[in-house]
A and B are shown apart, each in its own frame.
Chain A
Amino acid sequence: MTTTGPELEPQSAITAEIVSRQQQYQDDLAAGARPTATLLDFAPYRSSVLRHPTKDPRLVDPETIELVSPAYGHWEVAPIESDLTAQHVGGEPQGQRMVVTGRVLDSAGRPIRHQLVEIWQANAGGRYIHQRDQHPAPLDPNFTGAGRTLTDENGVYRFTTIKPGAYPWKNHLNAWRPAHIHFSLFGNAVTQRLVTQMYFPDDPLFALDPIYNSIPEQKDRDRLVADYDHELTSPEWALGFRWDIVLSGPQATWFEQEGDE
């Protein structure tokens, strides 16, 4: 099924809108607007048009419950859940095996310890197992594409998976998402809650993608791109990618004391 409906706009129109919206952000900044890493109002991503608040979020002092976070016991996540290549008795998934690892840190560089990291992704052919993804790439009976782990004492997470393929969608004509892995993270305070996407170096689809470009500054977009790490790559087994995550936001001071031990 190839969608070539006349209602879909060409890439050139979307790219022009991306450039224009990012320039508007720079103009707004120059006029004194508040910097923001991700633009909620980003029309080139068509689904955002009716789903972004029109008012600026109010600045509030976080209260008790907001200064702490849900936490997880070590018994709540099994070690095998971090290996997305070992979830099916039928065998291993198709695709390029890889390890992705890194540290989860707060904005002062301190490790976020024993916290939940959840990931989900498309298979090597760019297909999600989700029922609503019906594009004609094959499902892989040996790949679901969901994993989770807890960070260790040093804030380190580590997943074994396969490299996801680029994913076609219907935002516009011939729209393809750069290969990515969705990450969900908890910090030491609920204010640090983060859902984001990790990308791979040098993807030619970056400039074309309205979701990646909903982050207006290149230095911020760069934070979502993992590094290829040859030291992490293992012979005849798996490529290695390294990606550190920094969770911003206020948190309770007693965590600093705990970190001083």
Chain B
Amino acid sequence: MMSGDASLPTPGQTVGPFFRFGVEYAGENQVVHPYSPGSVLLSGTVYDGAGDAIPDAMVEIWAADADGTVPAGEGARQRTAHLFSGFGRSQTNGAGHFEFWTRNPGPTAPGKAPFFAAVVFARGLTDKLHTRIYLPDDEAALAADPFLASLEPDERRTVIAERDAEGNLRHDIRLQGERETVFIRF
């Protein structure tokens, strides 16, 4: 007998408090070199339902390249090959802050609203959470996006990043509370 009924999916469990030493690796949040041409800083804070920053969360992003090409993925652990892997991982620091050096994803088809697929983990979070982080720039594409169209204006704001004066992206994730991030399932 194999681990119960082997036709059932394996359920998720929390990452617990002590995941950093198990999952951290050099260059994990540098999908591209900082400040390289076309690079953008995507950063934010993960908050709990009391509005406190979560210092033991982890955010992963996965996105197309700037021209909309879906990456083959290889090179996310060994950045030395200088492939665009599209994948990054960031453990929040003591202030709940995460950040990635990456590129603005392009539309994967004409008219599509580009977004980062994001997965969130934390101590106290019993399973992963999926969400999206949309680029704020192409308003027509955002207006045409079926998922965004299904959301109330307040909800919509929780899945669209803000662009700052330097061209970088800022996006907070709230696990609970008034401005709770909209999470998704498939």
Contact = CB atoms under 8 A, between A and B. Distances in A.
Interface of A: 37-40, 42, 45, 47-55, 57-66, 68-73, 75-77, 102, 107, 109, 116, 118-121, 128-130, 132-133, 144-146, 182, 184, 190-191, 193-197, 211-212, 214-215, 219-227, 242-250
B40 interface: no
Contact of A193 (B2, B16, B60, B124): B60
A76 B25 CA distance: 11
B122 interface: yes
Most chain A beta carbons < 10 A, residue from B2, B48, B63, B109: B2
Contacts of A65: 62-64, 70, 86, 105, 108, 115, 117
Nearest to A75: B78
B135 interface: no
7 contacts: A40-B126, A77-B77, A132-B18, A182-B19, A195-B15, A222-B4, A223-B11
B22 to A, nearest CB: 2
B85 interface: yes
Most chain A beta carbons < 10 A, residue from B11, B14, B78, B122: B11
A245 B11 CA distance: 9
A25 B150 CA distance: 28
A73 B82 CA distance: 13
Interface of B: 1-23, 48-50, 52, 54, 60, 62-64, 70, 72-78, 81, 85-87, 105, 108-109, 112, 115, 117, 119, 121-130, 146-147, 150-151, 175-176, 180-186
Contact of A246 (B9, B85, B183): B9
Contacts of B123: 47, 51
B184 A57 contact: yes
A135 B112 CA distance: 51
A24 B126 CA distance: 17
Contacts of B14: 45, 48, 195, 197, 211, 214
A37 B12 contact: yes
Given A244-B3, A245-B10, A120 B124 contact: no
Nearest to B114: A65
Contacts of A54: 49, 176, 180
A53 B129 contact: yes
A135 to B, nearest CB: 12
B74 A214 contact: no
B73 A72 contact: yes
A48 B75 CA distance: 34
A227 B130 contact: no
B11 A59 contact: no
Given A58-B147, A59-B185, A50 B48 contact: yes
Nearest to B56: A132
Given A128-B18, A194-B12, A227-B1, A45 B126 contact: yes
Contacts of A133: 17-18
Nearest to B72: A71
Given A71-B72, A71-B74, A194-B12, A184 B23 contact: yes
B183 A58 contact: yes
Nearest to B5: A219
Contacts of A47: 123-124
Contacts of B64: 64-65
Given A51-B54, A54-B180, A70 B4 contact: no
A88 B120 CA distance: 32
B11 A37 contact: yes
A42 B126 contact: yes
B126 A53 contact: no
A224 B9 CA distance: 10
Contact of A72 (B22, B23, B76, B130): B76
A196 B10 contact: yes
